Chain A
């Protein structure tokens, strides 16, 4: 998978590059709109992460150019401007997703996976998590054809953890994914812990749920081999 990171903030593009490289992506970096435009023209990318606020180029302009070049790369807009209209404008211009800064790298990866699934119409929509089967299309989890009644949030948490299996997910990362834009100011709350507690309870009625590991003081990890 080839990814182009268009971001003038070098430290940020560096961190994204480190992360995506570790996940097995081939990363290319452009710090200006001009070089991005050239790279997009010459190369073929699967993903373009595009900062809207480039110093020499309006991100929307770059988005338009890319679309005009007939490139079918998935485009995720990244912006710190956070204006309400930006999101609408970006999606109207054909961006596949929109991430406001600051975002979690795990969230970025989850969005990229979701786009892939959508774009390529992946047939295999069932993930096997130990003895549980997760149907992403129908948003259900079952055990030996027994449907487990999970709430929307519980499903989202399990899905997110499965997506980032064998990796510590901090409470902050989980909260950000689950609650998204809702401005619940009480960050110290135990929302996530309560959800995980309920999730474990529901899963353990059917099978072993020990694969959800609590990493003390940090968060959770879904272990899978």
Chain B
């Protein structure tokens, strides 16, 4: 299969959407790839120069502008840049955008997409390494998308636009140059639908975004040791597809979740909680949650690596469950 980098697929998908739909504008000059990948983003910005609003360093202001522009008939993709900067715009993202459609009885649509490069990007230290996605799952009315695979990017982008819902799209900073390890599924990706990327029978490993890439690499390692892992990509965090996870664990009886968020009220804890009610009794062993421990992210690379949910830790957790 053709190997497309995740970031290239992202930029192509945005370009396709802008060619297809003149309502689409980009607000924020941060692009989609950060400084490291600006050469990939440049052609997009050159082609659509007049539809890109290069903003001042005013996340609160320009995220609010995205909401207003959406109300006025555009489809703005608001590029926040580093995920930690979303906190500067928290009042607009969490307390304006998600309330408007509901509180207007469905009459005022807010089709806006906020986009950020999140996660432990290696030596970003505590103020540039935020994973705001779990916090955003606490925001009713906000759709949270966090794909991991190049093949899913275009269809999910279109689906988000068509949904007319305010959406926060999370890309991990380290995802840009990753390529798909497994071919795309038969069904096109849909909002609120997870995908079994690799079928297996011994253990279910759940991830999203960069953690999913780590899960798949772990599955390859596990295969060498005779362990057949089923790997699930959540793709959208809100709405969350608990059914696919439940079905898989019903088969394997074992669960590992990899999630860079802090342990409390995280994506991993939400997945694990499925087996306290809807999937009660399906686990044969206690679930293993691999999170970043609850400390601010340290700068020093060995400390950071020590705390990350790495491929090695996923392999180890799966082996302990299957043993």
Q: Please determine whether chains A and B interact with each other in the same assembly.
A: no
Interface residues of A (CB under 8 A from B): none
B residues with CB within 8 A of A: none
